Every structure is written in C-alpha cells, then in structure tokens.
A and B are shown apart, each in its own frame.
Chain A
Amino acid sequence: MNRSLASPAARLLYADYLQRLDRSLSRIQDTVVGDLRQELIQHLDDLIERLPGDELDRVRLACIQLGEPSVMLASLIASDDISAGLQGWAKHRVISGLWRRVLIGGRGGLVAGLQLAFAVLMVTLVTIAVLSPFLPLHVGLLRYPDGQVLLGVSTVPAASEVLGWWRMPIGVIAGFVAWRLLKRSLSPST
C-alpha cells in the first residue's frame, strides 16, 4: 500500500482492492503488468483524493469507480490467455481466453463465440483421431439403432461407426487445418 489512510476500515477496503487487483494481474504475463499496477494504484489514489465524503466513503466510491479488477482486466486476461495458448504448449488457454471474450460480450464476444465453436470442433476431431483405436464405437461418426447420427464422442456405444479407420487421418488432418485457420483468425487481434 502506497497510501496512508487514517481509518482502519478504509485501510482494509483499500488493501482488499489491491489484493483483488494483484490476483487479476497475476493472470497476465504481458510486460505491461508492472507498469499497469502502479498506474492503477495512482488512479485509485487520485479518485480517493478528489471524491466527496469521509475517508471510508471516498475509498469505497473510488474502488467502485475504478471497477472490479477482474472485470476491468478481463479483455487483457483473455488476450494474454489466447496469445500464451497460441505460442506455448498450453493450447487449452486459447479456449479459456475465447470463453472470456464471449463473456465480455459485444461484437468481439460474437466473433469469439464463432472462434470458440471452431476450437471445440478442432478438439473433437483430434479426440476422435486419438481415441478411435481404443473406443471404436464411442468416437467418430456414430450411427445408433434408432437412426440417429452423431459426430464426436459419446459414452453410449453406437451400433456402427461410419468412417471406419479413415477417422484417424481425417481427424488429424481436419484438426490441423482447423487449428491453422483458428490461429490465423486470432493472430491480428492478439
């Protein structure tokens, strides 16, 4: 805490806000983080300084005005997740980042929703390819006795699987193509 507050309640509120801020910032690996923390604390201090009311009210209002850190930093956390997922081995972070963007909403959320659907399709295709030797009637293009057809993974065994062993190369190649397309669509915005 870089600010001297007289009231213990105000100090507690301020410290609690910083704790939540640090928690949110710790999810971002971007180089902007160190700077951003100092900048946001300065912003919070400025708001406390200028708002009306007693100290506790001013701290409470300043925290509200600056906004909940997890919400304020949501788009940064999402971008960071996506870029870490694209560059590193933790590919699941792409899905987590896209989901965050969907939750933020707006036009970006809509685009992220489509990209997320594409990512889920890609994961499904790769899962089909990997699991088909072990669970031949649970993964692939499954046909059930009632005529229902399902592409994906199911806990209920199907009557037959339509693609046969082709599902392995098809899953790997289609999954790879889907990944490349997803990566290309995400590159400019990350």
Chain B
Amino acid sequence: MDRSPAQNWETQLRKGVLEMAILFAMRDRDRFAIEFVDTLRRAAGLDVPEGTLYPLLIRLVKEGWAQTYWSAASATDTPRKYYRITDEGRRMLVEMWTRWSRLAQSMQELGEAPE
C-alpha cells in the first residue's frame, strides 16, 4: 500500500524519538523486550518492530544508558532478560527531554505565528 509523504515523514519522526521513548519506558520500572513493544504501542502509539528494537536496546546498553540482568518472576517461570535504566541513562533522558521540549515549543511558536 502506498504511503503518503506525510505518513513517511511521521514514520521518520517516530523513529527519531524511539531511544527517548524506550528510556522513558524504563524510567519507572525495569522491563523485558516484549514489554517495550506493548508499552510503547499502548502508551505512545509507537509501533516498534523487533528488528528495530533489539539493535536499539543493544546500543543503549553499549552507550551505558541501560544495563541488563536475568530474572524470573517466580521459581517456576522462565528467566527473562530485564533492562534497567542507569544514572547516566537518566541524565541522558533529561537532556533529550529538554531538547525535545525546546524543539516542540519552537515549532509551536512558529506554527502559531501570524502569516
């Protein structure tokens, strides 16, 4: 199905904010990979294909913004790999959010300015 240029633009925009969205998703509690897919779809309407998610998660770990550990909810459950935001990740998230807010505000002012 053909996508309109506006849809393509929105896709690129959403891809650009994925790292910030994943860090936000980890802010309150540690999560495993499939939970990111669910949370981001439900809370932010962001569709994150697994092909995009895993390289991104690995990058966050390599950057030192997240760390991982294996844990099972109970003794009978299969262990899962959880992602936890680090202090450095939290600092980065604040930085990203500040820049994002500034950009969004500029765009809003530009859009509301009289022609």
Contact = CB atoms under 8 A, between A and B. Distances in A.
Interface residues of A, number: 19
Contacts, number: 37
A65 B78 CA distance: 21
A76 B58 contact: yes
Contact of A42 (B50, B61, B78): B78
A110 to B, nearest CB: 13
B81 A72 contact: no
A150 to B, nearest CB: 39
A39 interface: yes
B45 interface: no
Given A38-B81, A67-B49, A43 B33 contact: yes
B114 interface: no
A46 interface: yes
B51 interface: yes
Interface residues of B, number: 14
A156 interface: no
B81 A35 contact: yes
B73 to A, nearest CB: 13
Given A35-B81, A38-B81, A42-B78, A67 B68 contact: no
Contacts of A67: 49-51
B34 A72 contact: no
Contacts of B81: 35, 38-39, 42
B34 A32 contact: no
B50 A39 contact: no
Contacts of A73: 54-55
Contacts of A35: 68, 81
The 9 closest A-B pairs by CB, nearest first: A72-B51, A67-B51, A75-B55, A39-B81, A46-B34, A66-B50, A67-B50, A43-B34, A32-B58
Interface of A: 32, 35-36, 38-40, 42-43, 45-47, 65-67, 71-73, 75-76
